[in-house]
Amino acid sequence: MNRVQSSLELLRIMAIKFSEEADKLNENLEQKETIKTKQHDWSNRLAVFSLGSNGSRKVNSEEVMAKRLGIMRTKAGKFRQDSYDQNDKFAINKIQKYLLKNNFIIEEKDQEDFDIDIIANKDGLKYRIEAEVKNTFFTDLDSFPFNTVSFLGRKKKYSNEGLFYYFLLCKKNNSFLYCTSDTIYQEKYKEIKEVNTIHRFGTDVFYRVPKELCNFRTF
C-alpha cells in the first residue's frame, strides 16, 4: 500500500469515527430533549395539584376544567371583561329601560369608565345605581332561596362618593331586588371567603345582608 492509499484509508477510518461520534451526540441530544419535554409535561400536571389540610395532594378540578376550556382564570375581586359583557351590560340596559319608563333622566356615558354603572335624575334628586346579574332564581322575598343576599365587597368603593343603590337582577325572569349601600356595607355583614371557580380564585370579600332588608320588585 503506497502513501496515498494509506492516507485515504486513514481519512476513511476518521470519517467513520466522526460519524459514530455524531450519531452518539445526536442521540444524547434527543434523550435530553425527551427528558426536558417530560419534565415540562409533569410540571404542568403538578400545577393542577394543591395540598389538602392533611398535607395530601388533591386535584384542583376547577383549574383543570378552565385549562381544558381555554378560560383564563383571574384573582378574586378583579374586573373581568367577559363577565361584564355577558352579564353587566344586560343588567344595565334592563334597569335603564325601567328608569326611563318611570320618568328618570339617565346621564349618558361615552364609554365604560369603571365607575358606578348608572346615574339617573328625577325631581331634582340624583340616584347612583350599580347593576349586577344574579343566577339565583327568585320572584319575591319568600321565593328567594337563602336567608341572606350576597353583595360584592369590591363595590364598596363607590360609597366613598355617597349612597348608591345596588340592584341584583334575576336573568331568568323579570324580577330584581335592590338595597342601599349604607345598609349593605356594615362590618357585621362582612365575610371573607376563599373562591375557587373556573373563572376566579383566591380570597374575596362579600357582604351577606338579611333578605328582609332588601326590596324585591318586578319590571
State which of 50, 69, 88 marks the end of a domain: 69
Question: Are both 43 and 9 inside the same structural domain?
Answer: yes
- Residue-wise pLDDT for 13-46, tens only, equals 665 665 566 565 555 555 555 544 444 444 444 4
Q: Are residues 21 and 104 in the same domain?
A: no
Residue 11 half-sphere exposure, CB side, CA atoms within 13 Å? 6
| Containing structural domain, residue 159 | 74-218
The domain that contains 191 carries what CATH number?
3.40.1350.10
Are residues 58 and 95 located together in one domain of the fold?
Answer: no
Amino acid at 11: L
Q: Are residues 16 and 107 in the same domain?
A: no
Query: Do residues 62 and 17 both lie within one domain?
Result: yes
Q: Which whole-number Å values give the CA distances from 135 to 87, 141, 150, 175, 196, in the listed order?
A: 10, 16, 12, 12, 17
Say how many Å lie between the first and final Cα of the chain, rounded. Answer: 107
DSSP one-letter string for 10-22: HHHHHHHHHHHHH
Same-domain pairing of 204 and 172: yes
In this predicted structure, what is the pLDDT of residue 45?
44
Residue 165: which of 180, 153, 151 has the closest Cα? 180
Residues 21, 81 share a domain: no
Pair (86, 146) in one structural domain:
yes
* pTM more than 0.75: no
Q: Identify whether residues 52 and 152 lie together within a single domain.
A: no
pLDDT of the chain, 219 residues: tens digit per residue: 566 556 556 656 665 665 566 565 555 555 555 544 444 444 444 444 444 545 444 556 656 655 554 555 555 555 555 555 556 788 999 999 999 999 999 998 766 667 899 999 999 999 999 999 988 999 999 999 999 999 999 999 999 999 999 999 998 898 999 999 999 999 999 999 876 665 565 778 999 999 999 999 998
Give CA–CA dist 175/162, Å, rounded.
Answer: 26
- 5 vs 3: CA distance, rounded Å: 6
**How many domains, the chain?**
2
- Domain endpoint, select from 40, 69, 98: 69
Q: What is the pLDDT of residues 124-152, one digit of tens each?
A: 999 999 999 988 999 999 999 999 999 99
What residues have CB less than 8 Å from 214, skipping those under 6 apart? Answer: 141, 149, 177, 178, 179
Angle made by CA atoms 197, 200, 203, in degrees to the nearest 5: 105
Looking at this protein, which amino acid is placed at residue 49? Answer: F
Which domain-ending residue is among 18, 35, 69? 69
Q: Are 164 and 128 in contact (CB under 8 A)?
A: yes
Q: Are residues 166 and 98 in the same domain?
A: yes
Same domain for 82 and 53 = no
**Is there a contact between 177 and 168 (Cβ–Cβ < 8 Å)?**
yes
List, in sequence order, every beta strand (DSSP E) within the chain.
49-51, 57-59, 74-75, 105-106, 118-122, 125-134, 148-152, 165-170, 175-180, 190-196, 200-210, 215-218
Residues 28 and 110 in one domain: no
Taking alpha carbons only, the member of 134, 214, 152, 89 closest to residue 97 is: 89
